[in-house]
């Protein structure tokens, strides 16, 4: 019994069919707890007032935006090396979620930035890096939709994802060189000295767990939909041949 057995679409469908309800319920619980706790049961910050509470959406979505790209990279590599279709489809399913998370992070950041920095947008390295990530997502999604043959599309998007990752990372450090920033450093760290205060930290962790689970739910749902649509097109092709 190994992980790779779930690369078989039928097994994957059977497993996710069983797991999905639990994941969905957990997502709802975590998100509700984290956000309610964060919004209503934490004190206002002494300097930022209640605007600080947007952190419970901003930080998790920003984290997910980056991690979803990493997940796509891993899935692409698995597809290139082991040719498991589920992997390619999962990467495809994750991309629109990633782009949405990037947008959420950018928009909540803008809403937060206006009262704090006095501007919705600044050409700060972190903000710019997110804009760049957004463009990389767009290119990836556009390439998927532009190619008709599914296997070719999976191959080419995987290659693009690999090269794109290298250059996205390069851009992320290039913008540090290019402009000085307003954005604070890491909000999260294992080291208690560095991260935000515990009153915010704990609900933040719950929200992050909620966002991770939300991503898991959505990506499983979307992958299942992709598998089904692939099966339907195979069936249609079969009917035509008859």
For other proteins, the binding residues (CB under 8 A) are 132, 135-136, 138-139, 142-143, 146-147, 152, 155-156, 159-160, 162-164, 166-168, 170-171, 174-175, 177-178
- Are the C-beta atoms of residues 202 and 117 closer than 8 Å to each other? no
Indicate the residue among 4 and 173 with the shorter CB distance to other proteins: 173
* Nearest-approach distance from CB 170 to other proteins, in angstroms: 4
* Nearest-approach distance from CB 154 to other proteins, in angstroms: 9
- Using a 10 angstrom Cβ sphere, with 0-12 exposed, 13-18 middle and 19 or more buried, the burial of residue 102 is buried
Query: Looking at residue 194, what DSSP letter applies?
Result: T
* Nearest-approach distance from CB 105 to other proteins, in angstroms: 18
Indicate the residue among 163 and 234 with the shorter CB distance to other proteins: 163
Indicate the residue among 82 and 228 with the shorter CB distance to other proteins: 82
* Nearest-approach distance from CB 135 to other proteins, in angstroms: 5
* 204-228 residues labelled b (16+ CB within 10 A) or e (exposed): bebbbbbbbbbbbbbbbebbbebbe
Q: How far is CA 48 from the centre of its chain?
A: 28
* Nearest-approach distance from CB 242 to other proteins, in angstroms: 27
Closest to 157 measured CA to CA, from 232, 91, 82 = 91
Indicate the residue among 19 and 138 with the shorter CB distance to other proteins: 138
Indicate the residue among 82 and 231 with the shorter CB distance to other proteins: 82
Question: Around Cβ 230, how many Cβ atoms within 10 Å?
Answer: 14
CA 212/CA 207 separation, integer angstroms: 9
Indicate the residue among 149 and 239 with the shorter CB distance to other proteins: 149
Indicate the residue among 105 and 154 with the shorter CB distance to other proteins: 154
Closest to 37 measured CA to CA, from 204, 196, 189, 195 = 204
CA 203/CA 85 separation, integer angstroms: 37
* Nearest-approach distance from CB 128 to other proteins, in angstroms: 9
CA 166/CA 174 separation, integer angstroms: 12
At 180, is the secondary structure helix, strand, or coil? coil
- Are the C-beta atoms of residues 32 and 225 closer than 8 Å to each other? no
* Nearest-approach distance from CB 25 to other proteins, in angstroms: 38
């Amino acid at each position: 019994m190994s992980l790779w057995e779930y690369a078989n679409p039928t097994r994957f469908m059977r497993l996710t069919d069983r797991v999905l309800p639990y994941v969905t319920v957990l997502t709802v619980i975590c998100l509700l707890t984290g956000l309610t706790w964060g919004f209503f049961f934490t004190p206002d910050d002494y300097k930022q007032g209640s605007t600080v509470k947007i952190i419970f959406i901003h930080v998790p979505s920003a984290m997910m935006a980056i991690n979803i790209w990493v997940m796509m990279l891993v899935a692409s590599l698995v597809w290139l090396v082991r040719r498991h279709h589920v992997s390619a489809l999962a990467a495809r399913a994750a991309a629109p979620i990633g782009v949405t998370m990037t947008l959420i992070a950018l928009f909540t950041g803008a809403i937060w930035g206006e009262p704090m920095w006095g501007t919705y947008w600044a050409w700060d390295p972190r903000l710019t890096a997110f804009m760049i990530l957004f463009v990389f997502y767009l290119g990836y999604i556009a390439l998927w939709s532009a190619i008709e043959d599914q296997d070719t599309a999976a191959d080419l998007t995987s290659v693009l994802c690999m090269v794109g990752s290298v250059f996205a990372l390069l851009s992320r450090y290039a913008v540090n060189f290019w402009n000085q920033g307003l954005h604070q450093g890491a909000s999260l760290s294992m080291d208690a000295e560095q991260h935000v205060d515990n009153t915010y930290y704990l609900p933040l962790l719950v929200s992050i767990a909620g966002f991770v689970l939300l991503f898991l739910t959505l990506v499983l749902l979307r992958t299942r939909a992709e598998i089904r649509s692939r099966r339907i097109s195979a069936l249609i092709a079969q009917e035509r041949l008859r």
